[in-house]
Amino acid sequence: GMTRDDLFNTNASIVATLTSACAKHCPEAMICIISNPVNSTIPITSEVFKKHGVYNPKKIFGVTTLDIVRANTFVAELKGLDPARVTVPVIGGHAGKTIIPLISQCTPKVDFPQDQLQKLTARIQEAGTEVVQAKAGAGSATLSMAYAGARFVFSLVDAMNGKQGVVECAFVQSQETESPYFSTPLLLGKNGIEKNLGIGKITPFEEKMVAEAMSELKASIKKGEEFAKNFK
């Protein structure tokens, strides 16, 4: 019965405490935050690092890979493809309507009629709730979450070790939209974000989703920033 927002009160102070320790003891580390609500916990992390004077936006990542894994899986199921060979970029944030799957940029290329596309998009956005309901409130996503977290970290470690062309989406400090943080595909490298690859070409349906996500994104970010400012 909890929303991601309900998790804020529990997780905000945990994230602030842990990231304060990181800022003091390992300020150069890559920080990957998967604790919900990611749309607020990443701004908290950034503000904590700023307070300690060690902020580097290229090294702070909100892990949204679970949305990508789900998008790949659901598209593959509908099209009879191998999910390991499907790549759907998911941009925006990591809650409800801020989760924006760019089906138009899927590789391999796929097409869906508009009604099916809307249903598919809604399923990707609400997949977390789907799992909670399937478990009758006794838990949330665990194995898929672990897989997604591992996938992102393995990609980052590969890039830090010199592998070229490693791209993952993550929720990061961003100038790509009017939102100060936004998830887009990122080229990863030895120093974290080598290049933000941006949103790219999107359809009017996807443009509308980006516009509709803005107010919720900005509110969640502000909530995280306010919390961090008052955190002792």
What residues contact residue 128 under an 8 Å CB cut-off, 6+ apart? 66, 140, 141
Could you tell me which of 202, 184, 212, 181 has the C-alpha nearest to residue 68? Answer: 184
Name the burial class of residue 226, with classes exposed (0-12), middle (13-18) and buried (19+) by CB atoms within 10 angstroms of its CB. Answer: middle
Contact 189, 159 (CB under 8 A): yes
3-state secondary structure 141-210: CCHHHHHHHHHHHHHHHHHHCCCCCEEEEEEEECCCCCCCEEEEEEEEECCEEEEECCCCCCCHHHHHHH
Phi and psi of 179, rounded to 5°? -85, 130
Catalytic residue among 94, 148, 166, 228: 94
Asked if 52 is an active-site residue, the reply is no
Element spanning 62, H or E: strand 60-62
Cα–Cα distance, 15 to 11 (Å, whole number)? 6
Catalytic residue annotation = 94
